[in-house]
Amino acid sequence: MLTKRIIPCLDVTGGRVVKGTSFTNLRDAGDPVEQADFYYREGADELVFLDIGATPEARDTMVHVVEQVARQVFMPLCVGGGLRSISDMRRMLQAGADKVSVNTAAVQEPQLLKESAAVFGRQCIVLAVDAKRREKGKLSWEVCTHGGRKPTGIDALAWIKQAVDLGAGEILLTSWDADGHRAGYDNELNRAVSEMVSVPVIASGGAGTLEHLYDALSIGKADAVLAASIFHYREYSIKEVKEYLAGRGIPVRQ
Amino acid sequence: MNKASKRIAVIDYGAGNLGSVANALTKLGYRPTVTADPSEVFKADAVFFPGVGDAGDTMRSLESSGMAQVVKELVGMKRPLFAICVGLQVLLSATEESGEHDCLDIIPGRVRKLPQGLKIPHMGWNQVRQLKTHPIFTGIDDNANFYFVHSYYADPRDRTVVAGVTEYGIEFCSMIIRDNLVATQFHPEKSGEAGLTMYSNFLEIVCP
């Protein structure tokens, strides 16, 4: 049986892992290669690197980070943040990434999904979506771009459907409302997307407890859960997460 | 003999993520050469044949680069070959991907689409049930998890070549062994310690 994936997310800028509660309050959290190796040994199922600097100079550094990590850890790596073109994507894939995620660039130029899927295969192309709820209690979300800072007015569900038709092979779905609050994922969003599309959905944004992870995979019907702070601050190890989920009947790789 | 002195070739035919296979072999102490040169490939003690993406495109690249013939000859001579993912799929006679496309016809059978109703691609870690007792599985538990990412699966006509099966909607062939040919639908180079162990076992068997 296909297992549910547990995915730590590492925010990287200037070749260092950073963590913080907002873009302005970042702390150095170590070397990305060491961090990746740590999660690999802990039994993470995949790693996501988010280049939060995403300037051209930062991207050169990121390529180097990906090359280093790919020599050390033997699990799937996804890289995102500021990738705008086929050539940006190619550099990351050649450096050793298995997948690339695109967000703002795909909203601005949806054909990028079609072209990149044709070149690299759709399994390489992850659509990252920051979805903000339009009205409390209503099952309607709006796409935000530029790291969640810019609302676009675009309906998130319609966009995701279009993106999958174009070539996205997986959805990395972040709830704008839940992200950073550690009060649980938006499982209405996760479920709506997971039931709508035929590709895997990674739930992101809001993990604070083990039960939150369980809820995203059960109620939210997500195929994978991504979390940052609960892993970075060593509140839970990957092993603890998997033991907990297995105990509640979720298939995980142990 | 020293591992570093073994000639290990990773076939480059202009597609696929060749770096990860080479990285895994390097981690094991080998010095793989990523090459598009048929004579380099023929000289190798063991050959890795990776593949990702579309099987139809892969076949076109293999044919235009001359590697299709190289792979056929290597298997014909029973030389050690490890095929991965789309590398496995193109060994069969034909694939349903991109309409219908002839493949290498090394392993008689078809490549079919995974059944409707489940998330496609089949992406993530899933178990491989071992159907053979074979030294390639030394140190690897039955039903160990490996990393998969694919939408099509191989359906060989001769079931005796099937070394491992995996369940995803249906039970499909996830591993083939015939003589010195080993082929996996999963990606050992992305499957942690179990995957590294499988590559290591293969090389220990075919070029001790």
The answer to whether the Cβ–Cβ distance between B123 and A198 falls below 8 Å is no
B32-55 average pLDDT score: 92
pLDDT score at A52: 85
CA distance A230 to A87: 34
pLDDT score at A30: 85
Whether B150 is catalytic = no
Q: Is A250 on the interface with B (CB under 8 A)?
A: no
Three-state DSSP class for A221?
A: coil
* A154-200 per-position pLDDT tens digit: 999 999 999 999 999 999 999 999 988 899 999 999 999 999 999 99
Whether B103 is catalytic = no
Q: Is B145 on the interface with A (CB under 8 A)?
A: yes
Alpha helices in B28-118 (DSSP H): 38-43, 55-65, 67-76, 86-89
Q: Which of A42, A78, A100, A123 best tests the B interface by mutation, with the highest count of B CBs <10 A?
A: A123
* B115-152 per-position pLDDT tens digit: 989 999 999 999 999 999 999 999 999 999 999 999 99
CA distance A182 to A2: 27
CA distance B167 to chain A (A): 6
Could you say which architecture CATH assigns to the domain B3-206? 3-Layer(aba) Sandwich (3.40)
B154 touches B111 (CB < 8 A): yes
Tell me the whole-structure pTM to 2 decimals: 0.95
Catalytic member of B103, B150, B173, B189: B189
Q: What is the mean pLDDT of chain B?
A: 94
Long-range pairs, A27-30, Cβ under 8 A, ≥24: A29/A232
pLDDT score at A21: 56
pLDDT at B15 over 70: no
* A79-107 per-position pLDDT tens digit: 999 899 999 999 999 899 999 999 999 99
C-alpha dihedral, B76 to B146 to B13 to A119, nearest 10°? 140
CA distance A2 to A4: 7
Alpha helices in chain A (DSSP H): 32-42, 56-72, 86-95, 104-108, 111-120, 156-166, 187-196, 210-218, 229-232, 238-247
A164 touches A197 (CB < 8 A): yes
B97-116 average pLDDT score: 93
Catalytic member of A45, A51, A88, A130: A130
Reported confidence tier of residue B1, pLDDT bands at 50, 70, 90: low
Phi, psi dihedral angles at B176 (to 5 degrees):
-125, 135
B48 touches B82 (CB < 8 A): yes
Which residue among A45, A71, A200 places its CB closest to the CB of B23?
A: A71
Domain residue extents for chain B: 3-206
Phi, psi dihedral angles at A182 (to 5 degrees):
55, 30
Q: Is A195 on the interface with B (CB under 8 A)?
A: no
What ipTM describes this predicted complex?
0.94
Q: Is A91 on the interface with B (CB under 8 A)?
A: no
Which residue among A5, A94, A95 places its CB closest to the CB of B124?
A: A5
Three-state DSSP class for A167?
A: coil
Of the two residues A169 and B56, the one the predictor is more confident about is A169
The fraction of chain B above a pLDDT of 90, given in percent, is: 85
pLDDT score at A105: 95
pLDDT at B176 over 80: yes
For chain A, which residues score pLDDT lower than 50? none
